[in-house]
Amino acid sequence: MWFRQLVRFSSSFSSKDLKIRLTSSPKKKPELNEKLLFGTALTDHLLEINWNETDGWDIPRIEPYHNFMIDPASSVLHYGTECFEGLKAYRTAKNNLLLFRPEMNMNRMKKSAAAVALPDFDSEELLKCIKELVKIEESWIPSKVGYSLYLRPTFFGSHAGLGVAKPRSAKLYTVCSTVGPYFPEGFKPIHLYCDDTIARAFPGGSGDKKIGANYAPGIGHTAKLQSKGFNQILWLCNLYVSEAGTMNFFVFWHNKQGEKELATCELDGTILPGVTRDSILTLARQWNEFKITEKKFTIYELCDAINEGRVIEAFGAGTACIVSPVNKLTFKDREYKIPIALGNAGILTKRFQDEILKIQYGEISHSYQHLVI
């Protein structure tokens, strides 16, 4: 009996069983301008796959966009049994549709799901289903560089019961939204605030998983600081630099040995293993022009390097923005200015932005590209 339940809990759905029902009432497409708010132009359809511990996975379905009905006692509402991902589909000049390293998102989602006791699934089958959704929503993908279709796979425990327990039923789904460039009028450097009394993650926790519990507690802190003129928080963990807002953090500096070095926090379990982070590190290693280091460094080491004139530039990195230049940070009520060589971004920051955009929009051929159409 226990073995049969284990097999069901670990088995997956198949993209071959995908059922599609198209909408009879298409939505109006959004205007492509600076008023397009991130994640608000939701498309006509969604991908939906249900699971329960008795029957295992149901067949995947693409349906017209609709609301979900869940019990007020659902596990996700009380204990946060959920995880999610974020990736984009791009239209090239040749009218192909590309995804950027989607296998990394799928594999990360499996790890996040396991961390909150959600059932296992075949990441390749999920990706195949998502590709079919992208094909259906093709008309929502603009041809303008900087615009794309944002994909949000989400997975949550749906069973009703107030006990703290492994979900007995769950829903895996994906919604899509047309999105514009993160910086519609060019780079806007950000001002980071550092506070050693608050933390995003901690050793032995779930900071390396993409779950809502890592994001919700920071919203209030961020809103409070934004009302004071700061843009994001540079999160610390026992005084070690970790992430910038919801982005991985990079600093390009002369280290104490006088070498040019691109440094970012090591993946110690408190840092999200970002797709953009990995792409930046891989590109930098291929260029082989300076030292690349994944290591722990404290906020005091960073501030000392700024004071000593060793910091060349700094930036955050993530799917939404690719890179976000940093020109200031405040710690212990003292402001530290970070150089911005090009006025609104550092030279290396812009180079990473340009190179990744070329890959995403098919201007150059690269192994990171995943062809949809």
- 3-state class of 16 per DSSP? helix
Please check the confidence at residue 10 and state whether its pLDDT lies above 60.
Answer: no
Residue 184 DSSP one-character state: B
Q: What is the mean pLDDT of residues 20-35?
A: 97
User: Where in the sequence of the chain do the CATH 3.30.470.10 domains occur?
Assistant: 2-181
3-state secondary structure of 34: coil
| CA gap 288, 292 in Å, rounded | 9
Distance between CA atoms of residues 325 and 85, nearest Å: 23
Structure token pair of residue 127: 């990706």
| pLDDT above 90: residue 183 | no
**CATH number among 1.10.8.60, 3.30.230.70, 3.40.190.10, 3.30.470.10, domain 2-181:** 3.30.470.10
Give the closest residue to 131 by CA, choosing from 67, 47, 237, 189. Answer: 47
How many CA within 13 A on the CB side of residue 12? Answer: 15
Say which residues have a Cβ less than 8 Å from residue 136's Cβ, sequence separation at least 6: 20, 22, 44, 45, 62
- Separation of alpha carbons 305 and 65, rounded Å: 51
What type of residue sits at position 123? S
Higher-confidence residue of 59 and 184: namely: 59
pLDDT above 50 for 3: no
In angstroms, the CA 356 to CA 323 distance is: 10
Helix axes 102-115, 123-136, angle to 10 degrees: 120
pLDDT at 9 > cutoff 80: no
What are the residue ranges of helices labelled H in 17-101? Answer: 75-79
The residue among 16, 19, 23, 156 whose CA lies nearest residue 85 is: 156
Tell me if 275 sits within 8 A of 234, measured CB to CB: no
CB atoms closer than 10 angstroms to residue 268? 16
Partnered with residue 292 across adjacent β-strands are 262
In the chain, % of residues over pLDDT 70? 97
Digit-coded pLDDT (tens) for 151-162: 999 999 999 999
- For domain 190-360, the CATH architecture is Alpha-Beta Barrel (3.20)
Residue 333 Ramachandran class (φ > 0 left, ψ -120 to 50 alpha, else beta): left
What mean pLDDT value characterizes the chain?
A: 96
Residue intervals of the chain classified under CATH 3.20.10.10 are: 190-360
pLDDT range class, residue 120, cuts 50, 70, 90: very high
